[in-house]
């Protein structure tokens, strides 16, 4: 809740015309919608390698991920992916195209992952990363990947590497996130 909703008297009910139970203010009728968060990031390529960041923050501190994070109000998904690459890897990237859209209902996330490339060769660990690296396929620390969706994105990228025309991916069949804590 934010400061606007803290003093309201909420009750759980299904608002008129809705299909889901919501927190509704008994005094004024305000409906406090809780919707999924949007995460955006990129498989960033350079010289046949992929940019990876070792997380310095929870969840999954110390594990490797793609530069990605929550979208902010007022930015496009592409701008958010570029901002996250700057924040996590001090990297300037160019978005090439959409790679995948994942839905992770158990943690209320929609993840938008792009293919991108470095705008220049400069990158270094930002405040949310312990270290960053460009990794070849055989150098990816698979046992230390932070989130299932990172593995999905890397494997799906590998399946279309060098292909220019493909449909964006979604969750692999039967995958809606695993019980590993985020």
Tell the residue number behind the tokens 């909703």, with chain if given: 5
- Whether 150 shows a pLDDT value over 60: the answer reads yes
Task: Count other Cβ atoms within 10 Å, centred on residue 77.
Answer: 19
For 167, counting Cβ atoms within 10 Å of its Cβ (0-12 exposed, 13-18 middle, 19+ buried), the class is exposed
Radius of gyration of the chain (CA): 19
- Looking up tokens 């209320």 gives 108
Q: What is the pLDDT of residue 7?
A: 63
Give the pLDDT confidence score for residue 181 in this predicted structure: 43
CB neighbourhood size of 51 (10 A): 24
Helix/strand/coil for 155: helix
Mean confidence (pLDDT) of the chain? 92
| pLDDT at residue 12 greater than cutoff 90 | yes
What would the mean pLDDT of 106-119 be, rounded to a whole number?
A: 96
Cβ–Cβ < 8 Å for 51, 140: no
pLDDT at position 178 over 90: no
Residue 154 has which token pair?
Answer: 């890397």
d(CA 29, CA 46) in angstroms, rounded, equals 53
Report the pLDDT value the prediction gives residue 175, as an integer from 0 to 100.
83
Q: What is the percent of the chain where pLDDT is above 90?
A: 86
pLDDT (average), residues 174-182: 58
162 vs 182 pLDDT, higher one? 162
Q: In the prediction, which pLDDT does 176 show?
A: 73
Given this model, what pLDDT does residue 5 score? 47
Average pLDDT over residues 79-88: 98
Q: How many CB atoms lie within 10 A of CB 118?
A: 20
pLDDT at 119: 98
Contacts for 74 with CB less than 8 Å, ≥ 6 apart: none
What pLDDT sits at residue 182? 39
Contact at 8 Å (CB) between 114 and 99? Answer: yes
Beta bridge partners of 38: 110
Which of 1-10, 36-45, 139-148, 151-160 bottoms out in mean pLDDT, i.e. has the lowest? 1-10
Residue 4 has pLDDT above 70, yes or no: no
Lowest mean pLDDT among 2-6, 86-90, 169-173: 2-6
Q: Is CATH 3.90.79.10 what the domain over 37-160 is classified as, yes or no?
A: yes
pTM for the whole thing? 0.86
Domain boundary assignment for the chain: 37-160
């Amino acid at each position: 809740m934010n400061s606007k909703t803290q003093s309201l008297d909420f009750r759980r009910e299904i608002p008129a015309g809705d299909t889901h139970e919501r927190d509704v203010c008994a005094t004024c009728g305000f409906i406090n919608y809780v919707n999924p968060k949007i995460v955006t990031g990129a498989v960033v390529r350079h010289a046949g390698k992929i940019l990876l960041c070792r997380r310095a923050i929870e969840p999954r501190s110390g594990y490797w991920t793609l530069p990605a994070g929550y979208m902010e109000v007022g930015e496009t998904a592409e701008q958010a992916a570029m901002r996250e690459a700057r924040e996590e890897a001090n990297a300037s990237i160019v978005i090439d195209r959409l790679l995948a859209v994942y839905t992770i209902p158990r943690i209320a996330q929609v993840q938008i992952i792009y293919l991108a490339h470095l705008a220049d060769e400069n990158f270094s660990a930002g405040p949310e990363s312990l270290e960053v690296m460009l990794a070849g396929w055989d150098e990816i620390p698979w046992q230390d990947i932070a989130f299932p969706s990172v593995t999905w994105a890397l494997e799906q990228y590998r399946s279309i590497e060098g292909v220019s025309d493909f449909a964006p991916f979604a969750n692999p069949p039967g995958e809606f996130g695993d019980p590993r804590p985020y």
